[in-house]
Structure 1
Amino acid sequence: MDLGRHANQRFFNWFYWSINLGAVLSLLVVAFIQQNISFLVGYCIPVGCVGLAFFIFLFATPSFVTKPPTGSQVSSMLKLALQNCCPRLWHRHSARDSLGAHLLPDQRSQQPGPSPQEDIANFQVLVKILPVMVTLVPYWMVYFQMQSTYVLQGLHLHIPNIFPNYPANSSVALRAQGSSYKIPEAWLLLANVVVLLILVPVKDHLLDPLLLRRKLLPSALQKMALGMFFGFTSVIVAGVLEMERLEYISHNQTVSQQIGQNIYYAAPLSIWWQIPQYLLIGISEIFASIPGLEFAYSEAPRSMQGAIMGIFFCLSGVGSLLGSSLVALLSLPGGWLHCPQDSGNINKCRMDLYFFLLAGIQAATTILFIGITGRYERAAQGRASQSCPRRDSG
C-alpha cells in the first residue's frame, strides 16, 4: 500500500533515527572499552548483540507478511542494457537463443511478474535514476572521512583525561588507573549522532509540516544538494583545522599522549575543535542520506524497489572504496600522505591538502548533481503535465 511521499519521508526519517540510537550506545560503551580496556572485549559486545538480533529475527519470522517471489528484474535489466549498449553482441546472443526457443515452453507467461513492456518502462526509469545516484558517490567519499581521517586527525590533537585531577590523599593506584582513562576519540562521532537524534524529530514534527502547509517543502533532490553543500563545508573546516595543527607541529610544539598501546605526538590544540566538522557532516547526513533513501525508494518502479535500494547502498560502499583508494594513491612516495617512518603519524603529511582536494571534488560534483537533477525534475514535471489532460479527458 502506497501512502504517498510524506509517509515515505517520515518512514525513512525514523528508520535513520533508530539506526543512530543504536550508534549512541555503541560509541559510548564499546568505544570506551576498546580504547581504555581491550579491543577484544569491545568487539565481543557487538558480536553478541548481532547474534541476539539474529535469533530475535528468526523467532519473529511467523509474524512477518511475506509475498511470493515474482522473478528477478536484474536479468531483464542486464539484457536491456546489453541491447542498448552493445546491439551487435545482443543480436548474436538473441539469434543463438532463438534456435532453441521452440524446444522450451514460454515459462515467462506462467510466472507472475512484469511484462516485456513493463520491463522496458522500468529500464527507462532506471536509466534516469542511476546518474542521480552515481553523483552521490563523491559525497560518500566525504562522509566516510568521519570514520577514518577525522579520527586520525583527532588522535594527533590533545585528548583530555576523563579524571585529570586527584586530591593529594588519594591512593597512587587510583591516580594511576584514573589518569589512564582518556576520552575515546570515537566519542566525537557522538556530535554527528546527537545532531541526528535531535534534528530528525524536530524536522519531522515541526519543520516539515510547517513547510508543507506553506507549500515550501523542498524535494528530496533539493535536500540532497543541500546535504552535499554541508559535506563540502565539513571538509573545508577539517582542512583549516589541519593547517592550524601543522602550524604547531612546524614550531615543534607537541604533547605526547598514549592511547591504547600507541604513543601519539599531538599538537596542543584541544580535540574539541573537531566538533564543528562533525556537526556539519551530521547535518549533511540529514539532508543527503535520508532524502537519498527516500528518492531511491519512491522513484523506483514497484517491482524494482529492492534492487534500487540495493544499488543505493552499493554506491555508498563504492564511495568508501574510492576514498580508501585515493588515500592509498596519495600515500605513495611523493604523495601528500606519504609517511614512510610511521603510517599512523600524520605530522609530516599534508592532510590539509587532501581535505581541500575532497572539497574540490565535492564542489564539482554538486554542480554536476544540480544540473542532472534539474533535467530530471523538468522531465518529471513534463510527464506529469502530459498525464493531467488525459485524466481530464477521461
Structure 2
Amino acid sequence: MPGNIDDAAAGIKHDPSIAVAPDFKHEEQGEYPTEEELHTLRRVADTIPWRVYTLAFVELVERFSYYGSTVVFTNFIQQPLPKGSKTGAGFKDGQSGALNKGQQASTGIGTFNQFWVYLMPLFGAYVADKYLGRYKTICYALGIAIVGHIIMVVSATPAVIVHPNNSLGCFLIGIIIMGVGTGAFKPNISPLIAEQLHVTKLVVRDRPDGERVIIDPTVTQSRVYHYFYLFINIGALVGQVGMVYAEKYVGFWLSFLLPTCLLCVCPLVVWYCRDKYVMAPPQGSVLGKAVGLFLLANKGHWSLNPVKTYKRLYDGTFWEDVKPSHIEPSRRPAWMTFDDQWVDEVARGFAACSVFCWIPLYWLTYNQLNNNLTSQAAVMKLNGLPNDVLSNLDPFALIILIPLCDLVFWPFLRKMKIRFTPIKKITMGFYTGAAAMIWAAVVQAYIYKKSICGTGAAGVLPASLGGDGETMCPPVDINVWAQTGAYILIAISEILASITTLEYAFSKAPKNMRSLVMSFNLFMSAISAALGEAFVTLSADPLLVWNYGTMAVLAFIGGTCFWFQYRGLDKEEDHLNMLFAASRKTIASWSITCALQARPWPFGG
C-alpha cells in the first residue's frame, strides 16, 4: 500500500506555517514535525491494530445480514405468491414473490425502512454518549437487531406467508425492531474503529530502514475508512448474491433465516475481544447543550429581510456572542456550564454537520438501487437470473474500485499535483450519481419503446393483446445487463461521496461530538428517504422515465449548490485537518503560536 491516501488526508503538508513549535512533543507518541520536516519528509499511515479487523468483521457480518435481508424486500412485497407455493420461490423460469402489494407499496415500504434505519442513529448516538458508551450500545443494538430479524423470518414461514395481510403485519414489526438495532449500531461502530488507532497527532518517527517519516493520523483514518467500506461491501455482496438465490430456489424464509444466524455471531466476537478494545466511557450527551447553544446563537440574527438575515448570520459574531466570557453571569442560561473553548468545539461540530446538508439529494440517486432498478430488471430479459441479483453489481464494483483508487488513482493524481480534496470528491459524487440516473432513464425509455404493453411494461397484459387479467406483460427484448452502467456509476459516486463523508464526519468533528456528527451524517439518508416518499407516485408506469430524470436533475443541482457553498473550505483543508485532530492543550498552543506570529486563527474569534 502507498504511504498516502490523498492530499486531502495529508494534514498540513502544503502549509507548514501552522506547525506547532518544534519543541512541543507528545509524551507517548513522539515529536511533532518541524517546518523543514513538513516540507521534506514522506507521510505514511500508522500500523493498524488487529482489533480494528475484528470490528470490521462485525461490520461485515452486520451488513451481510442487513443487505442480505433487504435485497429481497422488493419481490417479497411487490410480486404475487407463485401458484401453489408456500415459500415464494419462483425457481428458474418463475418470478419469486409473496404479498402482491405492487411496486408503489414496495417502494413506499422500502423507503420507510431506509428512513427508519437512518433516523435511529440519532437515538443510538445519544444513548452511547450519555449512558452506555459506544461498546455497550453496539452490544445492545446487535441483540435488538437479532430480535427484528427473527420476526421477519416468522413472516416468511410457510404457515404465515400464505396469509398476505398477516405476513405483512409481522414483516413490518420485524423491520421496525431491526431498524432500531441497526440504527443504534451504525453511528457507533465506525468511531469505535477509528478510536482503536494508536497515533492521534502528527509525529515523526524513524523506520527500521533508517528513513525518517511523518506518521499522519488522517492518512491512517482515510485508509481505515476506505477498507472499512470495502468490508461493508464484501458483506453486502455475499449477502445479496446468496439471499437472492435462496429466495429464487428455496424461499423467502431461508433468505431471512441465514442472515439472522450469521448476525448471532457478532455478539460473540465483540464479547470475546471486550478486554482488547479501547473504550471511552460515556461523557454525557452534548446534544441538548449544543442545540440550546445553537438556538441561542440564532437570536437577533434573523429578519424578514433575507439580505439582512444573511449578513447577520455571516458577520462573524454568530458563535462569538454566545461564549460565556461575553455573557454576564446573571444572564447565562442554567445549562451554560461550559467555557469558551467548548463553544469553539460546538462551532466546529456544526460546521462539519452543515457540509452534509446537501447530501440527501445525492442519496436519492443511490436509493433507486433497492427498489426501482430492481423492478426495472424484472421486465427485462433475465436469461434465468433473479431480477434482484443485478443490484450486486454495486458492491462488486466497489470491491474492485476501492483498492484501485487507493493504490493507483489517488497516487496518480498526487503525482500530477492534482489536489482532489474532500469537497471536490463529494461534488463529483453528486455528478456521477446524476449520470447513473440518466443511464437508468435511457434504459427505461427503451423498455417503454420495445414493450408490447408500451408504457405499461410492468403491468398486466391488456385484454386487447390477449390478456386474461392475470397474465403479466412479457419481458422486453433488452438484456438485463444493460443496467450495468447505472450500477457502476453509482459505485463510483459512493467512493467519491459516501466514503468521503464518513472520513469528514470523523476527522472534522471534535472528539466529544464524533458520534453526534456521525449520526447526523447518517440521518441525511433518513431525510433522503423522507424526500423519496414524495416521489413514490413516480415509481410506477408510465412515469418511471420522469422518476429517473428528476433524480438526475436534483443530484446535479445539489452538487452544484454544494460546490459553490463549500468550495472555500478547500483553502482551509490543511488547517482543518491539523486543527480537528488537536487536543485542548494543543489548540491552546496553536492559538499562542498564531498570536506570536500574527497569523489568523482558522475559525475566527
- Matched residue SS, 1:119: helix
Q: Which has the higher helix share?
A: 1
Structure 2 contact 363–528 (Cα < 8 Å) conserved: yes
Output the aligned Cα RMSD.
3.4
> Structure 1 residues 219, 262: closer, same or farther in 2, change over 3 A?
farther
Structure 1 contact 16–290 (Cα < 8 Å) conserved: yes
- Match 1:373 to one of 539, 545, 566: 566
What is the match of residue 496 of structure 2? 287
How far apart, CA to CA, are the structure 2 residues paired with 1:393 and 1:353? 56
Q: 1:321 Cα shift?
A: 2.8
Q: 1:136 Cα shift?
A: 0.8
> Structure 1 residues 262, 124: closer, same or farther in 2, change over 3 A?
farther
> Structure 1 residues 248, 393: closer, same or farther in 2, change over 3 A?
closer
Structure 1 contact 208–217 (Cα < 8 Å) conserved: no
The answer to whether structure 1 residue 308 and structure 2 residue 517 are counterparts is: yes
Q: 1:250 Cα shift?
A: 5.5
Give the alignment's TM-score, normalised by structure 1: 0.77
What is the match of residue 388 of structure 2? 186
Structure 1 contact 240–352 (Cα < 8 Å) conserved: yes
> Structure 1 residues 264, 73: closer, same or farther in 2, change over 3 A?
farther
Task: Tell me which moved more, 118-127 or 235-244.
Answer: 118-127
Q: 1:304 Cα shift?
A: 1.1
How far apart, CA to CA, are the structure 2 residues paired with 1:369 and 1:184? 38
Percentage of matched positions with identical amino acids? 19
Encode CA deviations 1:41-77: one digit per residue, 9 max, x unaligned. 1100111111111222223222212122222211221
Which residue type is aligned with residue 129 of structure 1?
Answer: A
- Match 1:238 to one of 412, 416, 440: 440
Which residue type is aligned with residue 344 of structure 2?
Answer: A
TM alignment of 1:67-82, pairs within 5 A: 67-82=280-295
Q: 1:389 Cα shift?
A: 5.4
Encode CA deviations 1:341-364: one digit per residue, 9 max, x unaligned. xxxxx4x42200111111111111
Structure 1 contact 255–268 (Cα < 8 Å) conserved: no
How far apart, CA to CA, are the structure 2 residues paired with 1:381 and 1:204? 20
The answer to whether structure 1 residue 125 and structure 2 residue 343 are counterparts is: no
- Matched residue SS, 2:259: helix
What is the match of residue 547 of structure 2? 354
- Match 1:61 to one of 270, 274, 284: 274
What is the match of residue 153 of structure 1? 376
What is the match of residue 172 of structure 1? none
Stretches of structure 1 lacking an aligned partner (at least 5 in a row): 109-114, 162-182, 338-345
What is the match of residue 48 of structure 1? 261
What is the match of residue 204 of structure 1? 406
How far apart, CA to CA, are the structure 2 residues paired with 1:303 and 1:379? 22
How far apart, CA to CA, are the structure 2 residues paired with 1:186 and 1:73? 42
- Match 1:327 to one of 516, 520, 535: 535
What is the match of residue 363 of structure 1? 556
| Highest RCO, 1 vs 2 (Cα 8 Å, sep ≥ 6) | 1
- Matched residue SS, 1:365: helix
Corresponding pairs, count: 339
Encode CA deviations 1:315-361: one digit per residue, 9 max, x unaligned. 122212321x1233xx2xxxx44xxxxxxxx4x42200111111111
What is the match of residue 147 of structure 2? none
Stretches of structure 2 lacking an aligned partner (at least 5 in a row): 1-198, 201-215, 302-321, 461-469, 580-589, 600-605
Q: 1:130 Cα shift?
A: 2.7
> Structure 1 residues 100, 390: closer, same or farther in 2, change over 3 A?
closer
Which residue type is aligned with residue 153 of structure 1?
Answer: Q
The answer to whether structure 1 residue 14 and structure 2 residue 216 are counterparts is: no
What is the match of residue 37 of structure 1? 250
TM alignment of 1:336-347, pairs within 5 A: 336-337=538-539, 346=540
Give the alignment's TM-score, normalised by structure 2: 0.51
How far apart, CA to CA, are the structure 1 residues paired with 2:267 and 2:520? 24
Structure 1 contact 158–255 (Cα < 8 Å) conserved: no
What is the match of residue 428 of structure 2? 226
What is the match of residue 140 of structure 1? 363
